[in-house]
């Protein structure tokens, strides 16, 4: 299944409208190009609907959120819904401030999302109203482990049911779930958390994947999560003793650029629940 997902993105080259933060925006653009998609970044409310209309999918990311772009997010989201385009939400820092938590909730109430992707603390903040985030990183207390995995899977399925979106909770173990089925993914490397924006990058890739594979959003989001994890592993193997997080960041994007569908199929490690 993963092989076809990868190849569909490379063949269709989905154009993705990104309303995103200024910290990781360049990485998001380059990673979209690396996976076979095409990026456009635009956040002014006056062009939101036009830009969304010429694209195939929309990626909304609330990092460095500011008042100016919130109406753009709503307008673009509604337009994408009207056109039947997939929409991804990355609720960066939900739980860390009322502005972010409330904006993410309002977006979920007003826009139908195809995928909501965040760390466990962000997703808990949205689902349960708990604010356990350590800034933009997950709180250690929230961590998904082998011990609490069954519980976390149920939680993801519940929130998927409630929102109608595929829920992707990423961390050491990733969970991608709709209301009925969940994939737990064991790829990735701890050093990925030493790079800013691997989560943002994954959300952008996810938008490309669900846009190029519109009939199977659960599997497409799973493929995107596996891709990021596998590339994190492979890029880590390239590192020398002198390399750190800057080179690692470049190598991950390089690996995404090169990875074939066969390689993803071979290296992805997941279970279905």
- Other CB atoms within a 10 A radius of the CB of residue 149 amount to 16
Of 83, 86, 84, 58, residue with least CA distance to 72: 58
Of 227, 224, 206, 214, residue with least CA distance to 88: 206
Residue 9 CA, distance from chain mean position: 15
Going from the C-alpha of 171 to that of each of 8, 106, 185, 237, the distances in angstroms are: 26, 25, 10, 20
For the bound state, the minimum distance from the C-beta of residue 223 to a second copy, rounded and expressed in Å, comes to 19
For the bound state, the minimum distance from the C-beta of residue 184 to a second copy, rounded and expressed in Å, comes to 26
Query: Please, which residues bridge with residue 58 across strands?
Result: 17, 87
Nearer to a second copy, 67 or 215 (CB): 67
Dihedral (Cα; 42, 48, 50, 51), 10-degree rounding: 30
For the bound state, the minimum distance from the C-beta of residue 236 to a second copy, rounded and expressed in Å, comes to 13
Nearer to a second copy, 57 or 179 (CB): 57
Nearer to a second copy, 151 or 194 (CB): 194
For the bound state, the minimum distance from the C-beta of residue 75 to a second copy, rounded and expressed in Å, comes to 13
* Length of the chain, in residues: 273
Nearer to a second copy, 154 or 194 (CB): 194
Contact positions toward a second copy, by CB under 8 A?
A: 15, 21-27, 29-30, 33-34, 38-44, 46-47, 50-51, 54-55, 63-68, 93, 96-100, 133-137, 194-197, 238, 241-247, 249-258
CA dist 127 and 22 (Å) reads: 26
CA dist 90 and 93 (Å) reads: 9
| Main-chain phi, psi angles of 19, to 5 degrees | -110, 105
For the bound state, the minimum distance from the C-beta of residue 257 to a second copy, rounded and expressed in Å, comes to 3
| Main-chain phi, psi angles of 123, to 5 degrees | -70, -40
Nearer to a second copy, 50 or 271 (CB): 50
For the bound state, the minimum distance from the C-beta of residue 238 to a second copy, rounded and expressed in Å, comes to 6
Nearer to a second copy, 42 or 216 (CB): 42
């Amino acid at each position: 299944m993963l092989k076809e997902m990868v190849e569909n993105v490379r063949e269709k080259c989905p154009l993705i409208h990104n309303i995103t933060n200024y910290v990781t925006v360049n990485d998001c653009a380059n990673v979209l190009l690396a996976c076979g998609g095409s990026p456009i970044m635009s956040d002014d409310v006056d062009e939101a609907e036009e830009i969304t209309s010429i694209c195939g999918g929309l990626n909304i990311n609330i990092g460095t959120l500011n008042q100016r772009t919130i109406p753009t997010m709503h307008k673009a989201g509604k337009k994408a819904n009207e056109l039947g385009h997939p929409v991804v939400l990355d609720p960066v820092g939900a739980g860390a401030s009322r502005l972010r938590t409330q904006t993410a909730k309002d977006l979920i109430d007003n826009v139908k999302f195809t995928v909501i992707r965040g760390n466990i603390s962000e997703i808990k903040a949205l689902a349960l109203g708990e604010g356990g985030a350590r800034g933009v990183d997950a709180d250690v207390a929230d961590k998904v482990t082998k011990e609490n995995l069954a519980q976390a899977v149920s939680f993801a399925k519940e929130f998927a049911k409630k929102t109608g979106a595929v829920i992707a909770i990423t961390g050491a173990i990733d969970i991608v779930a709709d209301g009925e089925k969940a994939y737990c993914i064991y790829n990735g490397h701890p050093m990925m958390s030493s790079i800013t924006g691997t989560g943002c990058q994954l959300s952008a890739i996810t938008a490309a994947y669900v846009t190029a594979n519109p009939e199977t959003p659960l599997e497409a989001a799973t493929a995107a999560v596996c891709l990021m994890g596998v590339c994190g592993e492979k890029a880590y193997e390239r590192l020398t003793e002198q390399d750190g997080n800057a080179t690692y960041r470049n190598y991950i994007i390089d690996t995404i650029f090169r990875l074939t569908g066969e390689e993803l199929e071979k290296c992805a490690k997941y279970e279905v629940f």
